[in-house]
């Protein structure tokens, strides 16, 4: 008798199969039927979890950002440096996801999914961790929103091909220098600003 997967395990199986297909064929080159066949499930079984390919992409991004947000649970690290370090190597780490975005429409869909997932998973955790780490009179939720707004702008510019890594690093450094005075300990951003300045150098 075959073991019946839980709803969570079935969803994970579908996302894993989709990630591999997206990496091999691109998001635009993958059909829902490809995902269904790779999973060996019925159409009803697939569409019970995901309505369409965009929904699958959203699920992959949500899973990725949820994992990224967990770095904020480590209270031994300052939250902004922690999320910066993790995010620089994490975004798009889901198997070949960034390289699978081969059309402008797929890139726009990915960016929209990232924005939604950041608001869902990172914003509340970051605001919570920033309590007691901002200057008197500064709202930690505002600092979290400012940080994520800048992050979203950099993501968009890079993924749409408007900025290379050097331009992104230069803007990120400027943004962190502007953000630092809002923190009770502005020096916590100094190492990251120095690292970005190195990436910005010709």
Residues facing 134 on adjacent strands: 183
Average pLDDT, the chain: 91
Q: How far apart are CA 43 and CA 30, in angstroms?
A: 15
> What's the total number of domains in the chain?
1
Q: Which structural domain range is residue 143 located in?
A: 53-200
Q: How far apart are CA 91 and CA 70, in angstroms?
A: 14
Residue 176 lies in a domain: yes
Q: Is 176 left (phi over 0), alpha (psi -120 to 50) or beta?
A: alpha
How many whole angstroms from its chain centre is CA 171?
19
Residue 10 lies in a domain: no
Q: How far apart are CA 131 and CA 99, in angstroms?
A: 37
Confidence of residue 92 (pLDDT cuts 50, 70, 90): low
pLDDT at 57 over 60: yes
Residue 15 lies in a domain: no
Residue 161 lies in a domain: yes
Residue 1 lies in a domain: no
pLDDT of residue 127: 97
Q: What angle do CA 167, 168, 173 make, to 5 degrees?
A: 100
Residue 145 lies in a domain: yes
* Region of poorest pLDDT, from 40-54, 88-102, 122-136: 88-102
Residue 130 lies in a domain: yes
Question: Which ranges in the chain belong to alpha helices (H)?
Answer: 7-25, 32-39, 43-47, 53-69, 79-90, 104-117, 123-130, 140-159, 165-179, 190-200
pLDDT of residue 197: 86
* Region of poorest pLDDT, from 80-89, 112-121, 159-168, 179-188: 80-89
Q: pLDDT of 115-161, one tens digit each?
A: 999 999 999 999 999 999 999 999 999 999 999 999 999 999 999 99
Of 118, 123, 109, 115, the C-alpha closest to 55 is 109
If one counts every other C-beta atom within 10 angstroms of the C-beta of residue 143, the result is: 21
SS3 160: coil
CATH of residue 145's domain is 1.10.357
Q: How far apart are CA 185 and CA 173, in angstroms?
A: 17
pLDDT of residue 6: 87
Q: What pTM does this model have?
A: 0.90
Residue 181 lies in a domain: yes
């Amino acid at each position: 008798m075959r073991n019946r997967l839980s709803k969570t395990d079935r969803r994970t199986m579908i996302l894993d199969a989709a990630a591999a297909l997206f990496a091999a064929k691109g998001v635009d080159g993958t059909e829902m039927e490809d995902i269904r066949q790779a999973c060996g499930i019925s159409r009803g079984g697939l569409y019970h979890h995901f309505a369409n390919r965009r929904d699958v992409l959203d699920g992959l991004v949500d899973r990725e950002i949820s994992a990224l947000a967990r770095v904020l649970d480590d209270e031994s690290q300052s939250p902004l440096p922690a999320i910066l370090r993790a995010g620089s190597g994490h975004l798009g780490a889901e198997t070949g996801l960034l390289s699978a975005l081969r059309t402008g429409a797929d890139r726009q869909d990915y960016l929209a999914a990232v924005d939604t997932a950041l608001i869902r998973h990172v914003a509340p955790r970051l605001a919570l961790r920033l309590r007691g780490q901002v200057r008197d009179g500064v709202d930690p939720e505002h600092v979290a929103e400012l940080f994520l707004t800048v992050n979203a702008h950099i993501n968009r510019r890079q993924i749409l091909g408007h900025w290379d890594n050097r331009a992104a690093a230069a803007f990120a450094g400027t943004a962190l220098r502007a953000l630092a005075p809002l923190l009770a300990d502005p020096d916590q951003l100094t190492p990251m600003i120095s690292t970005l300045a190195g990436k910005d150098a010709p």
